[in-house]
Amino acid sequence: QKEVEQNSGPLSVPEGAIASLNCTYSDRVSQSFFWYRQYSGKSPELIMSIYSNGDKEDGRFTAQLNKASQYVSLLIRDSQPSDSATYLCAVESEEYGNKLVFGAGTILRVKS
Amino acid sequence: DAGVTQSPTHLIKTRGQHVTLRCSPISGHKSVSWYQQVLGQGPQFIFQYYEKEERGRGNFPDRFSARQFPNYSSELNVNALLLGDSALYLCASSFGRVSEQYFGPGTRLTVT
């Protein structure tokens, strides 16, 4: 079983819709969770971090964490064509030696 | 404020050669981590340095080495290059050993 799993997509949503990106992880003691956005040919850009169960909102982005289910998600409201990118889920824990373990990413396409 | 900087941007090397990649962290950040990203995958952890000491090593051969300098900048060295070393090499900096990581633009290495 991979440590961090994401659906590779592509996930296609119309402009203005809500995009829902999901991530599961295998390490029960994971402590920190991050979402990065990566445009083609560019480096990852940190967009959200979440450390405790529940929701965290920042503008059009909402991160949701459920440690019991080992599940973290990212919601993007009012999706824009400029949101089209690969979204990487990353998990950090002492079990991993405090390194970031990334999923393979989900490709999001927002159609205008 | 300046972000993480990396040099060079692109590099073409021949099998068997040696390469040195450089990274300068965000001002005030004391931790630098190196990642390798191949097409279609998430970044894979190589090394973490914090306060000039190695604090983590990923599953990479001994051909890979790194160091951190007193000004917190860092170098990644790869010896005896193989075709499979062709990838985007990313440097990320963070304030502490366990905190949000911010990526530089990366160095695209091509081994022929």
Check whether B1 has a pLDDT greater than 70.
Answer: no
Residue B78 forms contact with A (CB below 8 Å): no
Q: What is the mean pLDDT of each run of 10 residues along chain A (112 residues)?
A: 88 98 89 95 97 96 96 98 98 78 97 95
Q: How many CB pairs under 8 A join A and B?
A: 55
List chain B residues with CB under 8 Å of A45.
Answer: 103
Q: State pLDDT tens for residues B9-54.
A: 999 999 999 999 999 999 999 999 999 999 999 999 999 999 999 9
Looking up tokens 């003691």, which residue turns up? A29
Asked if the C-beta of A98 comes within 8 angstroms of chain B's C-beta atoms, the answer is yes
**Beta-carbon separation of B40 and A104 below 8 A:** yes
Residues from chain A contacting residue B100 (CB–CB below 8 Å): 34, 46, 49
- For chain B, what is the HEC assignment? CCCCEEECCEEEECCCCCEEEEEECCCCCCEEEEEEECCCCCCEEEEEEECCEEEEECCCCCCEEEEECCCCCEEEEECCCCHHHCEEEEEEEECCCCCCCEECCCEEEEEC
Residues within 8 A of A (CB atoms), B 15-74 only: 33, 35, 40-45, 48, 55-56, 58
Confidence (pLDDT) at A93: 76
Cα(A30)–Cα(A50) distance, integer angstroms:
11
pLDDT at residue B99, as a whole number: 81
Contact criterion met (CB below 8 Å) for B96 and B88: no
pLDDT score, position B98: 72
Average pLDDT, chain B: 95
CB contact under 8 A, A42 and B90: no
3-class SS string, A50-91: ECCCEEEEECCEEEEEECCCCEEEEEECCCCHHHCEEEEEEE
What is the pLDDT at residue B109?
Answer: 98
User: In angstroms, rounded to a whole number, what is the distance separating the alpha carbons of residues B68 and B59?
Assistant: 19
Which of B90, B98, B100 comes nearest A43 by C-beta? B90
Q: What is the mean pLDDT of residues B44-71?
A: 95
Residue B96 has pLDDT above 90, yes or no: no
pLDDT above 70: residue B102: yes
Instruction: Please tell me which of the candidates A44, A92, A104 has its beta carbon nearest to residue B41.
Output: A104
**pLDDT score at B35:** 97
